[in-house]
Structure 1
Amino acid sequence: MVKRAGRNLISISDLADADLEFILDRGVELSTKQPRRQLGPLEGAVVGIYFRKTSTRTRTAFSSGALRLGAHTIAFGPDDLQTVTGESVADTAHVMAGMIDILVARTAGSPEELRQLGAHEQMPVVNAMSSAEHPTQALADLTTLRARFGTLRGRRILYVGEGNNTAASLALALSRFEGVELELRTPPGYGLDEATLARARDNCLRSSASVRERHDMAELPHGVDVVYTTRWQTTGTTKSDADWRTTFRPFRVESELWETSSDALFMHDLPAHREDEVSAEVLDGPASIAFEQAWNKMYSAMAVLEWCRS
């Protein structure tokens, strides 16, 4: 019997505006209710949790979120599937699609592998992080911002650090909201790729948002709402430059950044390396909502799972 069709979330760009609004609204609603028991929308469903790379927040968020929605979960580690013995991704997906209702996958590889996994409409696939994007992180971040500010319209965000998959998804998501200003300060040679920037700027033409990128820390914007950073060593990646820390050092987030944005909140996708990309004073300080942001991953994950089956 063919199961109910669903929808993939491989890229933020897979979401129509209405889909994006639904996920954010539902995530905020769930975070307000803070459900501690099963809610039932996925009653009887089976959610596969396939992670080839380490994860604390994303894996726990989707596992816990699926259980709270009434689903059962099956966890797969990096060496559990026959792809390690030579079976094709396409064949693996064909088999799994007859047994699993939603697959949440972290490959840290090319998004093309996730597209192959999601080729069967009866098994929606959620990108829990690839080399190009981390869409569910951006959804958790925007859920946190909406819960805090009530609206994303006109928010001003300063992103400091590598132009990695988190930065890419943030740029693609925030650029869709009216009047948002996203300023990225990325180390030379470690910025967003041109294709992602071009997609974000295309979004800006519709939304009157702006996305700017510079590779220095001079003339920072004043009065931003949020300062955001990520760890310098993204999961599953390495840097070819042996002296990369010297290049990154000026982009460390310290309390001095609040001299011109005294009311700014601090966000971090975690895990954090204190005294590396961010000082402990900032991470543990009154402006930090990094752990609230992490908790919201579960509520956002629940919203994504509901959307996949809606």
Structure 2
Amino acid sequence: MYASLRKRFRRRDFLSMADFDREEIEGLLLFAAELKEAKKRGEAHTFCAGKSLAMIFQKPSTRTRVSFEVAMFDLGGYALYLNAHDLQLGRGESLEDTGRVLSRYVDGCVIRTYRQEELEEFAQVATVPVINGLTDWEHPCQILADFLTIWQSKGRLAGLKLAYVGDGNNICHSLLLGCPQVGISIHVATPARYAPHPLVVERAKKLAKDTEVEVGEDPVQAVKGADVVVTDVWVSMGQEDEAELKRTVFAPYQVNAALVAHARPDYIFLHCLPAHRGEEVAAEVIDGPHSLVWEEAENRLHAQKALLSLLL
């Protein structure tokens, strides 16, 4: 499996969930599951031996930083954490120049930044694979972990219904672009002023062949009959000045027992974390029997190990 997949993935960028097609995503998930089992058995899998990964972080991180660092260690490689304040970026050097230089030193780059445009500008000049570690527009690595979690819980992806309730943010965007790729119908419920970007919704509907892509304001309608219920924080990094307004506007969108009662009896709950209990999700849901958030967080490691093994 590894050899055939690597021919398709090698030296490509991963900037968006739309970068990979259904066959590629499913192949990557199967490989991630193999790596997960191998790690449990204590088997070495050094697909990145002798390789290095630069990680440029302009935003704080727990799961993204730790999962990528451990992934490279497990794969026999080396991860170099680069806080933007420790680089010449903090003194005005452009991302493009940084990309040109780092491409001469390392085998790949992960970037966690504010603007998708910055990521894309970096990737245009870099001569090594570039991975989106989170931008204001998308968080595709998280969605790979989500899909791995759903698949391992439900035994399939195609034919399921996923409900996303909350802010139409980067997680929402990546789910909208990713779900149609793997045959999952996605129903989004957000307040009108915080809806996902129309361009993302339009592209998601073009990607949808045998699935539904619905965006509205009614959380009950979105969750009705859902196999998977997903939410995210209401106030993302850099939006602290909107905190009080957003908490008021989003109050009807809390994922609580009353809302998930409309989902299928065997639904699963996902959240990319960090979570704010009592805001976007009630403790009874995130800490309840349907929650797979800790498995989801672990799967960041395994999905990214597969990604790194194939791209670098």
* TM-based fold match above 0.5: yes
1:221 deviates by 4.6
Alignment of 1:74 with 2:75, yes or no, is no
Aligned pairs for 1:159-308 (under 5 A) are 159-178=164-183, 180-204=184-208, 207-238=209-240, 240=242, 242-261=244-263, 262-308=265-311
Asked if 2 retains the 8 angstrom alpha-carbon contact of 1:177 and 1:209, the reply is no
1:71 deviates by 0.4
Q: Among all aligned residue pairs of Structure 1 and Structure 2, give the percentage whose two residues are the same amino acid.
A: 33
Q: What letter corresponds to residue 6 of structure 1 in structure 2?
A: R
CA distance 1:217–1:12, change in 2 (3 Å): closer
Provide, for residues 85-144 of structure 1, a one-character-per-residue CA deviation record: whole Å limited to 9, x for no partner: 12222211111101011111101x222221232235641110000111001011111111
CA distance 1:53–1:136, change in 2 (3 Å): same
Alignment partner of 2:146 out of 127, 132, 141 = 141
Bigger share in helix: 2
1:15 deviates by 1.5
| Other structure's SS at 2:193 match | coil
Q: Could you tell which deviates more after superposition, 87-96 or 246-255? A: 87-96
| Other structure's SS at 1:55 match | coil
Alignment of 1:47 with 2:49, yes or no, is no
Count of aligned pairs: 301
Q: What letter corresponds to residue 18 of structure 2 in structure 1?
A: S
1:62 aligned partner: 68
CA distance 1:223–1:16, change in 2 (3 Å): closer
Rounded to whole Å, the distance in 2 between the matches of 1:129 and 1:159 is: 18
Rounded to whole Å, the distance in 2 between the matches of 1:137 and 1:87 is: 29
1:96 aligned partner: 102
Q: What letter corresponds to residue 119 of structure 2 in structure 1?
A: L
Provide, for residues 254-296 of structure 1, a one-character-per-residue CA deviation record: whole Å limited to 9, x for no partner: 1122323322111111100111111111111101001110000
Q: What letter corresponds to residue 302 of structure 1 in structure 2?
A: K
| Other structure's SS at 1:158 match | strand
Q: Could you tell which deviates more after superposition, 13-22 or 61-70? A: 13-22
CA distance 1:305–1:230, change in 2 (3 Å): same
Q: What letter corresponds to residue 271 of structure 1 in structure 2?
A: P
| Other structure's SS at 1:34 match | helix
Asked if 2 retains the 8 angstrom alpha-carbon contact of 1:37 and 1:68, the reply is no
Rounded to whole Å, the distance in 1 between the matches of 2:223 and 2:273 is: 24
Structure 1: which 5+ runs fail to align?
none
| Other structure's SS at 1:41 match | coil
| Other structure's SS at 1:90 match | helix
Rounded to whole Å, the distance in 2 between the matches of 1:191 and 1:34 is: 40
- For the aligned residue pairs, the C-alpha RMSD in angstroms reads 1.8
Q: What letter corresponds to residue 249 of structure 2 in structure 1?
A: T
Rounded to whole Å, the distance in 1 between the matches of 2:108 and 2:266 is: 40
Rounded to whole Å, the distance in 2 between the matches of 1:40 and 1:33 is: 11
Q: What letter corresponds to residue 74 of structure 1 in structure 2?
A: L
1:27 aligned partner: 32
TM-score (norm 1): 0.92
